[in-house]
């Protein structure tokens, strides 16, 4: 039981970048188990980018096609993947812990009668068994688990398993998957309404303080947030909300209301009395301020000392490049 | 409408996490337990749907220790009609074990909707809802942030990366709820009084062996000293590189 | 509820300026705090036999005793306790070293070992501090704590709450009493605060209207500087010989590397010599230490900041040796009524109402005790209420039984004996110390007579430039900023909540600065020359109500979430 099945994701017929991370993780596991990596993607037809996956260590790439599989079909996908797993001998089935992955993986696990470790940030093999590490209690602790039996089902937290090129054959295969989409039908994907990302839940917050000087200048932050393609919300310090520059909904609290983004960018916030207690549980804090002695730099993981009106547009440019 | 809501008793998310001396569990000294916040959206949704339909029943189910009765009473105080506690001191690590115990409760019970919060704020497992659906062979939509139901059909919206998925499904169904679906009501004084008299059944549950073994619970790595990457716009490419390769947040 | 704006209109600002806080303090908003029963604006209405405002030790002792008396007679008694915190204990804070006698009286079937205490007091130490040294003093007789127990008030309250609920008492957490409902001269009940309003006072989607709760007797057990208690006393013109005065205590709990095996009290530094106060340090466990600094609010220097002084104090070797390498686990603050015997209201019972515990002023400063007085007052109130309900008469005359029980008890004896001790310190540390020593030696007889007092807000303040140097930037390891401290209080108040503080008009810069230092939670800031009010920071210590903007009840569940304070 040493082979790893990596479940990839496509959207609009193109492979999503997170799939490279899944294959990278799968390759690492397969090497530790002494087996091969099979990458699996479900789609309505050929998937652009599937042919690239060999670079990251896939021995084989299988595209399972079905006219109903263009958009995510929860029951259809779960059935097809479970059948594939039953027909093979896999030690591990790996998903991305994306919105789709976190929905799909439990369905497959229940069909197979196997446990699932979601949102894994590290893994290993000890005594032939797969061990995983995952954050719990809002990231305030790490849980290490051993998965007994096979296959082990895991979903990998996005942005943790940086894609690494370890080229393998990546032999392409296409097969037809039978059956319907299932009872649950995704009709369409709408664009997210601008500004609906709740500051309290956003994975990335770009927050501004009085250093922005005028309400109109918040535009540079809106542009930076937009560069993160829907993952970022604009936040505002209390001073700025009190002054009426930004709506209450954007206020990032002062009294410890937990805002726990993965990335918190504090722009023109000195970090003194406006210092946001809740933000300190952010995974990574970046501060941009022209005062090198600003207290925020003591709290930040990374800082740039400079004029935010020069730094932020440049940051927007660079972020657009990575998200392109 | 007959609706079941599965809830969990969890430590308050503001909890300072202290690991017990066994290195495997949370030190519960001074820890406050609450109704899982994501479950509040589920309870609220159930109450609204029942109110809209004009009749029906909202049943709240929890799997947990005896103290979870208090958590069930909170949901009853919000307006649920009755509660069931599947009493177990040990909460399985393996979501599938939990799902199996819950599914056994629901078999043949004839619920129009079975609601869950999308995940519990202690284990972040994000799986019991869809697993229960699979075991009962019911349609399921997870992380629902907007919901419309018309007769035997529903349309849900859920957030995905860069967009919103619009999903159609038939009833009966299992749904897991996300923030934004509704604004949960506070229990009213009268509701708190009434909750004491509402039926709460306690059943013992036998849990199967799970496939997950707990090796350790540890604190996260120490936060490293921050660094000033550089000055001005020229420092930006290096910052982005660090965010991508070192911090792994991009 | 308007925010104040700084204004130098004809008022010289800057160091050296003198002012009395009372000049800028609005009066208690009686028109909001006292409503006619039946007034519009409430959603639900609930009738009880007895309503208790506040689930602290006084309120819960009253509830438990009432429930037991009713149970013994087979009477059905509908008892409700309203608590503004989201869960029991979250707004409770005290040192604490507890005298167990009230516990023994309330629970005669239990032994000391059954009570929610952490451990008996073993070794004790009293020290006089200078900025560098600690000089051990012989323990003053009023401060001997043998036979008492170190405890967490939060844990006491939760334990009592369980017993109350088991006896059928309805404890409603998250429901602050915002107004008294009155009928003629009598108290008919209370109206709770509304929930789910935005900053402009407009209802949000989860808005809940206030509730009216009526009862034959309402027991006000609101703790220190109770709002409804003050309103009732003013409305009924109940006087006391001296006005009530207060101290502010700021407290922290630490997990320490080095174990502490004795309780410690200190006098002197860092409290200024013209001020009154001292510190305490108690082991909840050998490596779980509670410590705090208490300072009388009649301090003369407008720049005094109790939180800051506590941070400075922790750097003293006496404390540092325990705290170094440890972790700050909790922080909080609360005022303590210090006026003692002469500040007690002339009567603490009226038509349909009684005042309990700290709200009545039952605190003995020299021994730092209040919890067992609070509980005992609750027990006496319960007995008087029980008899009144049986007689079908909840008038002031009948409820005066409560006053008679208290007056004949150790509560009044103890307070009378130390009646002038705190007041002696009005003349400063050394003169006060001598007077206090004489009082102790003579059992309170000399110097006798009542020492007159003025309310804290009438004491003149001055911003003195020649203050001792302030604390350098908090290091986040041993010393902490107010914002970090508030975070450690568990305060997660909704940021869009309406402002609950009533601020005076035209607050000059000097006074704004005074507020900023006075408030341990950083509610007040001087920003851009104006007073900024960060109301969600408030931890309900009530210092502001004593010296500055008036505190009023706000949405239930707001404020701190103490766990073991």
Mutate to test the interface with A, among B176, B209, B234, B235 (most CBs of A within 10 A): B235
CB contact (8 A) between residue C537 and residue A256: no
Contact between C561 and B32 using a beta-carbon 8 Å cutoff:
yes
Specify the 3-state DSSP secondary structure of B174. strand
**Are A167 and A248 contained in the same domain?**
no
Residue A251 scores a pLDDT above 80: no
Question: What is the arithmetic mean of pLDDT over C266-278?
Answer: 88
How many angstroms separate the Cα of C64 from the Cα of each of A35, C72, C108, C166, C473? 68, 12, 13, 9, 48
**Average confidence (pLDDT) over B229-248:** 91
Of A188-192, A251-255, C27-31, C286-290, the range with the lowest mean pLDDT is: A251-255
- Rounded to a whole number of angstroms, the distance from the CA of C331 to the nearest CA of chain A is 13
User: Tell me: the pLDDT tens digits for C523-563?
Assistant: 998 877 889 898 989 999 999 999 999 999 999 999 999 99
Mean model confidence pLDDT for chain C: 90
Closest CA relative to residue B78, chosen from B43, B119, B102, B103: B43
Residues of chain A with C-beta less than 8 angstroms from the C-beta of C521? none
Instruction: Give C4's pLDDT tier (boundaries 50, 70, 90).
Output: very low
Distance set, CA B146 to CA B165, B166, C172, C240, C343 (Å) = 10, 9, 33, 60, 59
Tokens 């349609």 correspond to: B139
Within-domain flag for A243: yes
Kindly report, residue by residue over B107-137, the tens digit of the pLDDT.
999 999 999 999 999 999 999 999 999 999 9
Contact C546, C518 (CB under 8 A): no
CA distance, residue A246 to nearest chain B CA (Å): 21
**DSSP letter at B244?**
I
Superfamily of domain B2-204 in CATH is HUPs (3.40.50.620)
Average pLDDT, stretch A219-247?
85
Whether residues A14 and A155 share a domain: the answer is yes
pLDDT-based confidence at C437, cuts 50/70/90? low
Please tell me which of the candidates B14, B186, B193 has its beta carbon nearest to residue C490.
Answer: B14
Across the range C238-266, mean pLDDT stands at 95
How many pairs of residues across B and C have Cβ atoms under 8 Å apart?
41
The verdict on C486 touching A (C-beta cutoff 8 Å) is yes
Closest to C536 (Cβ–Cβ): which among A254, A273, A295?
A254
Tell me the angle at which helices C396-407 and C410-417 cross, rounded to the nearest 10 degrees. Answer: 60
**Residue A183 counted as domain residue:** no
Q: Name the minimum distance, in Å, from the CA of A201 to any CA of chain B.
A: 8
ipTM score: 0.93
Domain of A167 in residue numbering reads as 3-176
A76 and A130 belong to one structural domain: yes
* Candidates C195, C329, C563; nearest CB to B186: C195
Q: How confident is the model at residue A276, as a pLDDT?
A: 54
Number of other CB atoms surrounding residue A175 within 10 Å: 12
Report the residue from A242, A251, A254 with minimal CB separation from C483. Answer: A254
Greatest Cα pair distance, chain B, in angstroms, is 68
pLDDT of residue A167: 93
Please, are residues C197 and C497 in contact by the beta-carbon 8 Å criterion? Answer: yes
Confidence tier at A240 by pLDDT (50, 70, 90): confident
A39 and A75 housed in the same domain:
yes
Q: What pLDDT is attached to residue A231?
A: 82
Contact list, C496 vs chain A (CB under 8 Å) = 248, 251
Angstrom distance (rounded) from CA C450 to CA C446? 11
Of C196, C145, C46, the residue nearest C372 (C-alpha): C145
Measured between CB atoms, which of B95, B124, B163 is closest to A192? B163
In chain C, residues with a C-beta closer than 8 Å to the C-beta of A296 are none
Q: Report chain C's terminal Cα–Cα distance, integer Å.
A: 31
DSSP single-letter state for residue C204: E
Contact B62, B68 (CB under 8 A): yes
Distance separating alpha carbons of residues B229 and B16, to the nearest angstrom: 31
Are residues A102 and A28 located together in one domain of the fold?
yes
What is chain B's mean pLDDT, rounded?
A: 93
If asked whether residues A254 and A118 sit together in one domain, one would say no
3-state class (DSSP) for residue C77: coil
pLDDT for res C138: 84
B221, burial (CB in 10 Å: exposed 0-12, middle 13-18, buried 19+): exposed
Residue of B nearest to C207 (CA): B185
CB C262 within 8 A of CB C139: no
CA distance A109 to chain C (A): 38
Compute CA C109 distance to the chain's CA centroid, rounded to the nearest angstrom: 30
Interface residue of B28, B93, B134 to substitute, partner A, most A CBs within 10 Å: B134
Q: Does the CB of C492 have a partner CB in chain A at under 8 Å?
A: yes
pTM for the full predicted model: 0.89
C21-58 as b/e, with b when 16 or more CB fall inside 10 Å? beebbeebeeebbbbebeeeebeeebebbbbbbbbbbb
- Please report the residues numbered 222 through 281 in chain A whose beta carbons come closer than 8 angstroms to any beta carbon of chain C: 238-239, 242, 248, 251, 253-258, 273, 275, 277-278
In angstroms, the CA A44 to CA C12 distance is 79
Q: Which residue from B12, B31, B186 is facing C206, i.e. has the nearest CB?
A: B186
CB contact under 8 A, A255 and C473: no
On whether residue A110 sits in a domain, the answer given is yes
State residue C487's pLDDT score.
84
pLDDT at position B29, please? 82
What pLDDT digit, counting tens, does each position of A265-316 carry? 999 887 654 455 556 667 789 999 998 888 788 778 999 999 999 999 999 9
Which residues of C fall within a CB distance of 8 Å from A238?
Answer: 495, 534
Facing C483 at nearest CB: one of A258, A277, A298: A277
- Average pLDDT in the C412-439 region? 73
Tokens linked to A317: 């440019």
> Backbone dihedral region of B233: left (phi > 0), alpha (psi from -120 to 50 degrees) or beta?
alpha
Q: Please name the chains neighbouring C, where neighbouring means 3+ C-beta pairs under 8 angstroms.
A: A, B
**Residue C2 clears pLDDT 50, i.e. is over it:** no
For chain A, the domain total comes to 2
Nearest chain B residue to C488 by CA distance is B16
Which of A238, A256, A273 lies at the smallest CB-CB distance from C492?
Answer: A256
The rounded distance, in Å, linking the Cα atoms of B98 and B76 is 22
B230 contacts A304? CB cut-off 8 A: yes
Contact B189 C206 (CB under 8 A): no
Q: Let me know if residue A47 belongs to a domain.
A: yes
Task: Confirm or reject contact between C520 and chain A (CB < 8 A).
Answer: no
User: In sequence order, what DSSP letters do the residues of C300-344 get, joined into one string?
Assistant: SBTT--HHHHHHHHTTSHHHHHHHTT-EEEEEEEEEEE--GGGGS
Higher pLDDT, residue A277 or B106: B106
Per-residue model confidence (pLDDT) at position C481: 86
Number of inter-chain CB pairs under 8 A, A vs B: 260
Together in a domain, A127 and A260: no
DSSP letter for B126, please: -
How high is the pLDDT of residue C3?
Answer: 36
Give me the helices (H) in C135-222, please.
153-166
- Partners of B12 on chain C (C-beta within 8 Å) are 561
> Which pLDDT score is estimated for A48?
96
Residue C1: pLDDT band with limits 50, 70, 90: very low
Report whether C122 contacts C149 (CB < 8 A). Answer: no
Residue A18 has a pLDDT of 92
pLDDT value, residue C443 = 64
* C161 part of contact set with chain A, CB < 8 Å: no
Residues C226-247 have a mean pLDDT of 96
CATH of the domain at A238: 3.40.50.1220
Q: Residue A162: what pLDDT? A: 84
Instruction: Look at residue A284 and tell me if it is in a domain.
Output: yes
Query: What confidence tens digit (pLDDT) does each residue in C41-96 have?
Result: 998 999 999 999 999 999 999 999 999 999 999 999 999 999 999 999 999 999 99
C-alpha to C-alpha distance for B58 and B126, rounded to whole angstroms: 23
* Mean pLDDT value across residues A77-100: 96
User: Among A34-43, A216-225, C9-18, C487-496, which stretch is predicted with the lowest mean pLDDT?
Assistant: C9-18
User: pLDDT at residue C466 above 80?
Assistant: no
Residue A65 near residue A32 (C-beta atoms within 8 A):
no
pLDDT of residue C220: 98
Cβ–Cβ contact B249 with A under 8 A: yes
Lowest-pLDDT choice from A16-30, A231-245, A260-274, B95-109: A260-274
pLDDT > 90 fraction of chain A, expressed in percent and rounded:
65
Q: How many distinct helices (H) and strands (E) make up chain B?
A: 6, 13
Of A109, A148, A185, the CB nearest to B168: A185
Helix (H) or strand (E) holding B64: strand B57-64
Q: What is the DSSP letter of C356?
A: -
Which residues of B are less than 8 Å from A306 in CB distance? 231-233, 235
- Cβ distance B14 to C195 less than 8 Å, yes or no, reads no
pLDDT digits (tens, 9 = 90+) for B162-199: 789 999 999 999 999 998 899 899 899 999 999 999 99
Q: Are C63 and C104 in contact (CB under 8 A)?
A: no
Q: What is the CATH number of the domain that holds A172?
A: 3.40.50.620
Taking residues C389-402, report their average pLDDT. 97
- Cis status of the peptide bond prior to C447, with omega within 30 of 0: yes
Each residue of C340-368: pLDDT tens digit? 999 999 999 999 999 999 999 999 988 88
Q: Are residues A131 and A237 in the same domain?
A: no
pLDDT band at C206 (very low <50, low <70, confident <90, very high): confident
Query: In chain B, pLDDT over 90 holds for what percent of residues?
Result: 80
- pLDDT, tens digit (0-9, with 9 covering 90-100), for B18-33: 899 999 999 988 789 9
What residues of A are in contact with residue C490 (Cβ under 8 Å)?
256
Give the mutation candidate from A301, A308, A319 for the B interface (greatest B CB count, under 10 A): A301
Q: Do C44 and B189 touch (CB under 8 A)?
A: yes
Based on the domain organization, do A171 and A208 belong to the same domain?
A: no
At C72 the three-state DSSP class reads helix
The number of C-alpha atoms within 13 Å of A244 and in the hemisphere containing its C-beta is 0
Which of A254, A258, A298 is closest, CB to CB, to C534? Answer: A254
Regarding whether A243 and A163 lie in a shared domain, the answer is no
Q: Please count the residue pairs, one from chain A and one from chain C, whose beta carbons lie less than 8 angstroms apart.
A: 50
**pLDDT score at A279:** 63
Q: How many CB atoms lie within 10 A of CB C346?
A: 11
Tokens read off for C301:
């220097």
């Amino acid at each position: 039981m040493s082979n790893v099945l990596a479940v990839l994701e496509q959207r609009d017929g193109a492979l999503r970048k997170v799939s490279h991370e899944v294959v990278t993780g799968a390759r690492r596991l397969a090497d530790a188990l002494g087996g091969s990596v099979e990458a699996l993607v479900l789609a309505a037809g050929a998937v652009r980018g599937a042919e690239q996956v060999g670079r990251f260590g896939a021995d084989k790439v299988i595209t399972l096609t079905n006219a109903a599989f263009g958009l995510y079909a929860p029951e259809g996908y779960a059935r097809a993947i479970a059948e594939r797993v039953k027909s093979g001998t896999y030690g591990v089935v790996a998903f991305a812990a994306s919105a789709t992955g976190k929905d799909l993986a439990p369905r497959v696990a229940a069909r197979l009668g196997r446990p699932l470790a979601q949102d894994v940030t590290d893994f290993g093999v000890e005594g032939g068994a797969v061990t995983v590490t995952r954050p719990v209690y809002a990231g305030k602790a790490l849980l290490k688990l051993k998965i007994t039996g096979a296959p082990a089902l895991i979903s990998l937290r996005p942005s943790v398993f940086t894609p690494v090129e370890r080229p393998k054959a990546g032999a392409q295969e296409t097969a037809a998957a039978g059956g319907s989409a299932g009872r649950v039908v995704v009709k369409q994907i709408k664009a997210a309404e601008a500004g609906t990302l709740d500051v309290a839940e956003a994975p990335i917050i770009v927050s501004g303080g009085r250093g922005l000087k005028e309400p109109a200048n918040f535009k540079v932050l809106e542009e930076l947030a937009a560069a993160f393609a829907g993952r970022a919300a604009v936040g505002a310090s209390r001073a700025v909300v009190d002054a009426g520059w930004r709506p209450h909904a954007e206020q990032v609290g002062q009294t410890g209301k937990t805002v726990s983004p993965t990335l918190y960018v504090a722009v023109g916030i000195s970090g003194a009395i406006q210092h946001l207690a809740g933000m300190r549980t952010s995974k990574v804090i970046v501060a941009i301020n022209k005062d090198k002695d600003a207290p925020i730099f003591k709290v930040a993981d990374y800082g740039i000392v400079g004029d935010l009106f020069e730094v932020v547009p440049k940051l927007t440019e660079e972020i657009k490049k990575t998200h392109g | 409408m007959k609706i079941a809501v599965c809830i969990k008793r969890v430590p308050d998310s503001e909890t300072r996490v202290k690991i017990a001396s066994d290195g495997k569990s949370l030190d519960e000294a001074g820890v406050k337990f609450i109704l899982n916040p994501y479950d509040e959206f589920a309870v609220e949704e159930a109450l609204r749907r029942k109110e809209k339909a004009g009749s029906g029943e909202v049943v709240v189910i929890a799997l947990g220790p005896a103290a979870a009765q208090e958590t069930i009473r909170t949901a009853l105080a919000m307006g649920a009609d009755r509660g069931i506690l599947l009493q177990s001191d040990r909460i399985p690590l393996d979501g599938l074990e939990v799902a199996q115990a819950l599914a056994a409760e629901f078999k043949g019970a004839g619920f129009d909707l079975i609601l869950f919060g999308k995940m519990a704020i202690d284990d972040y497992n994000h799986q019991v809802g869809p697993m229960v659906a699979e075991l009962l062979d019911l349609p399921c939509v997870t992380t629902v942030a907007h919901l419309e139901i018309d007769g035997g059909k529903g349309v849900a919206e859920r957030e995905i990366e860069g967009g919103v998925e619009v999903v159609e499904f038939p009833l009966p169904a299992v749904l897991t709820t996300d923030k934004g679906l509704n604004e949960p009501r506070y229990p009213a004084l009268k509701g708190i009084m009434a909750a004491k008299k509402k039926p709460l059944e306690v059943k013992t549950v036998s849990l199967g062996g799970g496939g997950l073994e707990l090796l350790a619970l540890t604190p996260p790595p120490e936060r490293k000293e921050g660094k000033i990457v550089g000055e001005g716009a020229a420092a930006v490419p290096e910052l982005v590189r660090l965010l991508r390769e070192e911090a792994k947040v991009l | 509820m308007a925010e104040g704006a700084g204004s130098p209109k004809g008022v010289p600002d800057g160091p050296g300026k003198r002012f009395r806080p009372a000049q800028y303090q609005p009066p208690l908003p009686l028109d909001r705090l006292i409503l006619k029963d039946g007034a519009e604006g409430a959603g639900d209405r609930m009738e009880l036999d007895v309503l208790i405002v506040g689930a602290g030790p006084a309120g819960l002792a009253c509830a438990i005793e009432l429930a037991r008396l009713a149970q013994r007679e087979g009477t059905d008694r509908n008892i409700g306790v309203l608590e503004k915190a989201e869960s029991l204990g979250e707004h409770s804070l005290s040192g604490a070293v507890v005298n167990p006698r009230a516990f023994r009286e309330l629970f005669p079937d239990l032994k000391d070992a059954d009570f929610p205490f952490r451990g008996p007091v073993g070794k004790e130490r009293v020290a006089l501090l200078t900025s560098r040294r600690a000089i051990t003093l012989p323990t003053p007789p009023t401060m001997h704590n043998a036979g008492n127990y170190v405890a967490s008030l939060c844990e006491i309250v939760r334990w009592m709450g369980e017993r109350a609920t088991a006896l059928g008492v309805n404890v409603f957490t998250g429901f602050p009493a915002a107004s008294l409902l009155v009928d003629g001269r009598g108290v008919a009940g209370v109206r709770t605060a509304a929930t789910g309003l935005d900053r402009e006072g407009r209802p949000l989607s989860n808005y809940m209207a206030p509730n009216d709760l009526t009862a034959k007797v309402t027991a006000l057990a609101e703790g220190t500087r109770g709002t409804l208690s003050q309103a009732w006393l003013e409305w009924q013109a109940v006087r006391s010989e001296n006005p009530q005065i207060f101290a502010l205590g700021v407290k922290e709990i630490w997990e320490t590397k080095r174990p502490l095996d004795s309780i410690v009290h200190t006098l002197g530094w860092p409290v200024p010599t013209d001020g009154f106060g001292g510190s305490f340090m108690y082991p909840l466990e050998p490596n779980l230490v509670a410590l705090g600094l208490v300072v009388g609010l009649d301090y003369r220097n407008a720049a005094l900041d109790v939180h800051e002084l506590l941070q400075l104090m922790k750097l003293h070797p006496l404390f540092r040796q325990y705290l170094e390498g440890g972790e700050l686990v909790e922080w909080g603050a609360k005022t303590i009524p210090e006026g003692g015997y002469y500040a007690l209201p002339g009567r603490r019972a009226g038509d349909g109402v009684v005042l309990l515990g700290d709200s009545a002023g039952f605190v003995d400063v020299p021994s730092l005790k209040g919890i067992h007085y609070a509980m005992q007052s609750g027990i006496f109130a319960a007995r008087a209420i029980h008899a009144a309900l049986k007689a079908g008469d909840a008038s002031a005359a009948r409820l005066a039984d409560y006053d008679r029980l208290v007056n004949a008890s150790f509560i009044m004896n103890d307070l009378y004996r130390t009646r002038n001790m705190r007041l002696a310190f009005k003349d400063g540390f050394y003169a006060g110390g001598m007077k206090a020593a004489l009082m102790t030696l003579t059992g309170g007889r000399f110097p006798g007579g009542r020492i007159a007092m003025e309310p804290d807000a009438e004491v003149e303040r001055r911003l003195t430039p020649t203050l001792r140097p302030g604390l350098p930037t908090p290091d986040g390891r041993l010393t902490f900023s107010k914002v970090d401290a508030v975070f450690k209080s568990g305060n997660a108040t909704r940021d869009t909540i309406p402002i609950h503080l009533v601020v005076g008009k035209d607050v000059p810069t000097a006074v704004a600065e005074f507020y900023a230092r006075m408030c341990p939670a950083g509610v007040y800031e001087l920003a851009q020359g104006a007073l900024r009010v960060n109301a969600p920071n408030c931890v309900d210590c009530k210092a502001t109500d004593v010296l500055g903007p008036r505190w009023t009840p706000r949405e239930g569940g707001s404020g701190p979430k103490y766990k073991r304070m």
